[in-house]
Copies of this chain bind each other. A is one copy, B any other.
Amino acid sequence: MTSYILTLQCPDQPGIVRTVANAIAAFGGNIIENDQFTDPPTALFCMRTRFECDIESEAEVRRLIIESLDGLSAQLSVRDEGRPHRVLILASQYDHCLADLLYRQRNGDIPMTVVAVVANHPDCAALVQQYDTAFLQRDITPATKSAVEAEILALIDTENVDVVILARYMQILSPTFCSALPGRIINIHHSFLPGFKGARPYHQAYERGVKLVGATAHFVTADLDEGPIIDQDVVRVSHARQPNDLVAIGRDVERTVLSRAVKLVCEDRVALVGKRTVVFYQ
């Protein structure tokens, strides 16, 4: 038996669950997990269904489902669970998020294939090579930025990359780049958004005297720090913690939240509804 994940999104209407259940039953599939949600503001119905069947071809299963769901005019995806998402990581000199992602890939915690790491600093080269993963260093300057972005987009194309992860990339992507990959770029911002947007959020947090600091993983849009949130978390800090302490403490929250968000996306658990996300937790 092969295990598949179907995700589906369409305008809400009666009978979708039944239609999908019948479609899967029609080719002998058995539903193992099923999650659904209708988002009131957008009236979008979102569904994630994990099922098993004895058809081995993903393309064939996809064809059968599309055929059966013809009337729903749904946006849908069907993925053989044995074919993990292909991921490109953009990084900087900071290695805590990158190290955690690579560790979890090898460990089997996150089902993904990291095809390469592109960084604008050389510092993480040794780390990446320990995981037998391609490491490309590209300097980003006003002069080189658009050429590097074009090269990355080409790489995404030739390597069939599904998801791009900004693992503390520290560079602002151009609106063109962001628009080319809607819902496919994940960033980690080192604050509990919407608090402390922009630069040096831990220093801002210290100035404001907050009692918890946090991190936010979100999809990237052309609108900086305003993309749909995938996951967030916070940690308690005392008055004794200086800005540099917050930076150190924050690294733990950042790596945890980013890895959690990437895992959710790589397990097809995250749907986009307008500027918000629907997340089907296990």
Q: Which residues of A contact B (CB under 8 A)?
A: 14-15, 17-18, 21-22, 24-25, 30-40, 96, 99, 103, 107-109, 126, 130, 192-196, 207-212, 214, 228-234, 238-242, 245, 248, 251-252, 256, 273, 275-279, 281-282
Contact = CB atoms under 8 A, between A and B. Distances in A.
Contacts of A96: 103, 107
Given A209-B275, A209-B277, A256-B252, A14 B32 contact: no
B238 A282 contact: yes
Contact of A34 (B36, B39, B99, B242): B36
Contacts of A212: 192, 214, 232-234
Contact of A21 (B21, B103, B195): B21
A209 B228 contact: yes
Contacts of A239: 37, 39, 273, 276-279
| 8 A-B pairs closest in CB distance | A209-B276, A18-B21, A195-B195, A239-B278, A14-B30, A211-B232, A194-B195, A17-B21
A19 to B, nearest CB: 9
A276 B35 CA distance: 22
Contact of A210 (B17, B109, B126, B193): B193
